[in-house]
């Protein structure tokens, strides 16, 4: 019985690790990763494994989307005000080219205006880019590959900004991964 429970626990652990880590083949200059996995109204924190080959461009832009909460109106009311009675002269043209003018009285008119009665938070989606810079990486042979891990972390649920960190997993050389400028990771071989 204990062996069965341990096997189930091991399978669940493997599934949770696979759910948190996705592998992306870096085979073009622009890659659309899609939406970051995040629970409803929770900050994003995604681990992505990227695989580099000899044909990987020197710079790869990884595009992804992240959910965030923004303040907006969540309930509206219609405010109705009665307009005071007024008269107006209205002229209509006759068939012979003359105009016939009458004074008309307008009563019982209302003006309706929609106003916000309650502000709240609503979910929105923002799109971000992460540049992976391999200009100072080791040149790979035709069949060689390297894998790196990238962590995209949202600082606040009220903003779509994310920070990126990276590290070498399985590489041909030791690497120093530096975060520079906004959302750029530079992979430099030591």
CA angle 175, 176, 182 (to 5 degrees): 130
Q: How confident is the model at residue 180 (pLDDT cuts 50, 70, 90)?
A: confident
Q: In this predicted structure, what is the pLDDT of residue 16?
A: 42
First-residue to last-residue Cα distance in the chain: 50
Mean pLDDT of 6-26: 56
The rounded distance, in Å, linking the Cα atoms of 118 and 167 is 46
Say what percent of the chain tops pLDDT 70: 88
Q: In this predicted structure, what is the pLDDT of residue 17?
A: 40
Q: In this predicted structure, what is the pLDDT of residue 12?
A: 47
Integer CA distances (angstroms), 115 to 73, 77, 84, 119, 123, in order: 9, 5, 22, 11, 21
Q: In this predicted structure, what is the pLDDT of residue 18?
A: 39
User: What tokens appear for 144 in the block?
Assistant: 């060689």
pLDDT, tens only, 166-178 = 999 998 889 999 9
Q: In this predicted structure, what is the pLDDT of residue 89?
A: 87
CB 4 within 8 A of CB 33: no
Check whether 7 has a pLDDT greater than 70.
Answer: no
pLDDT, tens only, 74-121 = 999 999 988 888 888 888 888 888 888 888 888 888 889 999 999 999
Q: In this predicted structure, what is the pLDDT of residue 15?
A: 44
Mean pLDDT of 23-28: 91
């Amino acid at each position: 019985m204990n062996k069965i429970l341990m096997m189930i626990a091991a399978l669940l652990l493997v599934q949770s690790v696979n759910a948190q880590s996705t592998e992306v083949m870096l085979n073009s200059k622009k890659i659309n990763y899609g939406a970051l996995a995040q629970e409803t109204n929770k900050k994003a924190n995604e681990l992505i494994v990227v695989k580099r080959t000899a044909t990987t461009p020197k710079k790869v832009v990884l595009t992804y989307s992240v959910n965030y909460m923004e303040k907006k109106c969540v309930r509206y009311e219609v405010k109705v005000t009665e307009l005071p009675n007024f008269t107006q002269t209205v002229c209509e043209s006759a068939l012979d080219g003359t105009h016939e003018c009458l004074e008309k009285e307008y009563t019982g008119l209302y003006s309706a205006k929609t106003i916000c009665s309650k502000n709240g938070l609503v979910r929105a989606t923002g799109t971000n880019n992460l540049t992976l810079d391999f200009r100072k990486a080791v040149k790979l042979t035709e069949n060689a590959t390297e894998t790196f891990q990238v962590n995209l972390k949202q600082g606040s649920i009220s903003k779509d900004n994310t920070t990126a960190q990276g590290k070498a997993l399985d590489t041909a050389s030791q690497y120093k991964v530096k975060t520079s400028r906004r959302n750029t990771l530079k992979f430099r071989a030591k």
